[in-house]
Amino acid sequence: MSQILVVDDEIGIRELLSEILRDEGYDVVLAENAAAARAAREAGRPDLVLLDIWMPDSDGITLLKEWVGGGKLTMPVIMMSGHGTIDTAVEATKIGAMDFLEKPIALQKLLSAVKRALAKPPAPAASSLSLAAFARSVPLRDLRKRLEQVAAKSRIVMIKSAPGGIVELTARTLQSPGKAWIDLSLDSLPLTLEVLQAAAGGVLYAEEIGRLTRLQQKNLLFAAERLEKYGLHLAAATALDAAALLAQGWEEPQLAVLFDVWLGAPTLLELRDEIPEIATHLLAHHSESDEIPPRRLSSGALNALRQYAWPGGYGELKSAVKSLALTALEEEISAEDVMRLFFPNAAVETAAMAGLTDDVMALPLREAREVFERLYFEHHLRAEGGNITRLSEKTGLERTHLYRKLKDLGLRTPRKEED
């Protein structure tokens, strides 16, 4: 029996559609708003969604974009509206909706649309997460809006980001469902017109143009001249300044073209409060793609992920979430699982901390304090990736005092340039 999720803020419409569909033998789940629809989508994995456009908490178009961006549009969606326009219907179908029904909905039109939608093979989950999945995160939502504004006027989207940024997450937002994604850093052969034609409407990507080989640089410039012809976007990024790029073999006229317009993207450290939501979406995305067994992150695990420095950026977070799901022994991933993943000797540290009440209590106060301080600073050095600035903020110690304390404890002091 096919399950249909009906999402509409008007109780009369929900009840009417529910009665009609149940009489036809369908299993019906009702949701009065976007929040309830999200919960129902996760709990029941419906075979079809009837989604109202105008709702009080979040409109249907936004929710549809969120499902597309999170790789969760694995079921057909039929949009409904009493105030629909041709433009709205076109936008919905471009995003990924299968059909559009105008209220009041005629019985036969409803049943025909439902029958067509259920006959369609299930769509595969999207290959990667994008900013569209984060409708409730203000910084990520604002970044997506800025990105879309740039992309509407420029085929080249140059992203400036320090190491540890969310470059791929940002660039993936430009990829339309079913369209090509070509990572130029993986190509070792010359790019051809045939390849560009086959990728029409897609995205060409380079996470760090400073790491491209001479051939890959030529491929990027070859594509940049033909983006308009094939309806492509080029999403490229760098953490380097102009001098460093010139040293890598780029020429000033080429950089002038690439940097005609650019967008700044934050690092995960700057998005620390958003990390729990990003990790949760990544976990759900991996599960949707059948890459991992069902898992959930405990509040302790989410906080541990939030506290980590993420020097490897979004790619490191993506790999970490998948690794946690595959190595956790329980359905719920714990804070201990996170510590064990990043710090294999965390069990030794935990045992040492637990032993404070046994061995350390027998020591003189000065020696006991030194044991505790060493454990304390070792832990926070690892958590902050050796960054003295952040360690100073975390511990409340002025930097000069902090360097002296680490030296006294016999702990390795990171080089100044690593800050």
Residue 392 has pLDDT above 70, yes or no: yes
Residue ranges in 126-250 assigned as alpha helix (H) = 138-153, 167-171, 193-198, 214-224, 227-230, 242-247
For the segment 164-180, what is each residue's pLDDT rounded down to a tens digit?
Answer: 899 999 999 999 877 89
What CATH number is associated with residue 408?
1.10.10.60
pLDDT value, residue 210: 94
Most confident of the ranges 99-113, 223-237, 373-387:
223-237
pLDDT value, residue 413: 61
196 and 137 part of one domain: yes
| Residue that wins the pLDDT comparison between 44 and 185 | 185
What's the pTM? 0.65
29: closest CA among 75, 82, 65? 75
285 and 319 part of one domain: yes
327 and 306 part of one domain: yes
Identify whether the C-beta of residue 111 lies closer than 8 Å to the C-beta of residue 325. Answer: no
| Residue that wins the pLDDT comparison between 210 and 85 | 210
pLDDT value, residue 321: 95
What CATH number is associated with residue 140?
3.40.50.300
| Residue that wins the pLDDT comparison between 335 and 29 | 29
Residue 416 has pLDDT above 90, yes or no: no
| Residue that wins the pLDDT comparison between 384 and 194 | 194
HEC secondary structure over the chain: CCEEEEECCCHHHHHHHHHHHHHCCCEEEEECCHHHHHHHHHHHCCCEEEEECCCCCCCHHHHHHHHHHCCCCCCCEEEEECCCCHHHHHHHHHHCCCEEEECCCCHHHHHHHHHHHHHCCCCCCCCCCCHHHCCCCHHHHHHHHHHHHHHHHCCEEEEECCCCECHHHHHHHHCCCCCCEEEHHHCCCCCCHHHHHHCCCCEEEECCHHHCCHHHHHHHHHHHCCHHHHCCEEEEEECCCHHHHHHCCCCHHHHHHHCCCEEECCECCCCHHHHHHHHHHHHHHHHHCCCCCCCEECHHHHHHHHHCCCCCHHHHHHHHHHHHHHHCCCCEECHHHHHHHHCCCHHHHHHHHHHHHCCHHHCCHHHHHHHHHHHHHHHHHHHCCCCHHHHHHHHCCCHHHHHHHHHHCCCCCCCHHHC
pLDDT value, residue 350: 52
| Average pLDDT across the chain, whole number | 86
pLDDT value, residue 360: 55
143 and 254 part of one domain: yes
Residue 405 has pLDDT above 80, yes or no: yes
Overall average pLDDT of the 197-207 stretch: 95
The domain in which residue 325 lies consists of 272-342
Indicate the DSSP class of residue 165. B
Q: Cα–Cα distance between 66 and 129 in angstroms, integer? A: 10
Using the 3D structure, point to which of 305, 323, 342 is the last residue of a domain: 342
pLDDT value, residue 56: 81
Residue 355 has pLDDT above 60, yes or no: no
In a domain, 124, yes or no: no
248 and 151 part of one domain: yes
Lowest mean pLDDT among 27-36, 132-141, 315-324, 401-410: 401-410
Using the 3D structure, point to which of 238, 264, 290 is the last residue of a domain: 264
pLDDT value, residue 94: 81
pLDDT value, residue 122: 66
250 and 362 part of one domain: no
Domain total in the chain: 4
Using the 3D structure, point to which of 199, 230, 264 is the last residue of a domain: 264
Overall average pLDDT of the 366-376 stretch: 74
Q: Cα–Cα distance between 310 and 352 in angstroms, integer? A: 26
pLDDT value, residue 352: 47
Lowest mean pLDDT among 140-149, 206-215, 288-297: 288-297
